[in-house]
Amino acid sequence: MSDQAGNQIRIIAGQWRGRRLSFPSAAGLRPTSDRMRETLFNWLAPVLPGASCLDLFAGSGALGFEAASRGAAHVFMNDKDPDVVKALQATRKALAARQVEISCLDMTACLARGDDLFDIVFLDPPFAHPALLGMAIKQLDQARRLKAGSLVYVEQPRSQNFAPPSSAWHLYRDKQAGAVDYRLYRYRAE
């Protein structure tokens, strides 16, 4: 799939259930599969309504728009690729998703912006850059952008070794799909 119209995701549930959203081809952009999103959002169902969410590597928008569709009060989506951000903004407009805010910043600048605390964070960086995940978690921890009890979703290649930066991170749920590990951590401030 090389053109924007050929790359699509489907919103699984909520107010935009069944809507197909287009996204551009971009290096490292790999949407979270429907099956993995269904599992993740089943895990998040008790805490998602009214939550404040951060999708730090938004890409296709699959995680952020799914969260907004299912009742998150605020979803902050970020990606550093201007073409990706343009597509996310078009999707936001098409859905009239007023609870979604989008920025085009690198990870460090995004986490330094504002002082919002997040209930849920999605971390699904490009697999071709394995160091990004550890850097993102470390910066998220240092920026103090998480509430006690916040949930952090991590998606990574199964071959990648990952350890949380401190004892404040507790594995809550985990699963594998093919060559991908996906985990949900609960953050307990120290």
Q: How confident is the model at residue 167 (pLDDT cuts 50, 70, 90)?
A: confident
Residue 174 confidence (pLDDT) above 80: yes
d(CA 138, CA 54): 15
> Which CATH number does the domain housing residue 113 bear?
3.40.50.150
| Domain that residue 63 falls in | 4-187
Under 8 Å between Cβ of 7 and 60: yes
Q: How far apart are the first and last CA of the chain?
A: 46
Q: How confident is the model at residue 102 (pLDDT cuts 50, 70, 90)?
A: very high
Residue 136 confidence (pLDDT) above 50: yes
Residue 148 confidence (pLDDT) above 60: yes
Q: What is the mean pLDDT of residues 162-184?
A: 87
Residue 134 confidence (pLDDT) above 70: yes
Q: How confident is the model at residue 5 (pLDDT cuts 50, 70, 90)?
A: very low
For the whole model, what pTM was predicted? 0.92
pLDDT digits (tens, 9 = 90+) for 56-93: 999 999 999 999 999 999 999 999 999 999 999 999 99
Q: What is the mean pLDDT of residues 103-109?
A: 94
Q: What is the mean pLDDT of residues 42-50?
A: 97
Minimum mean pLDDT among 27-31, 89-93, 138-142: which range?
27-31
How many structural domains comprise the chain? Answer: 1
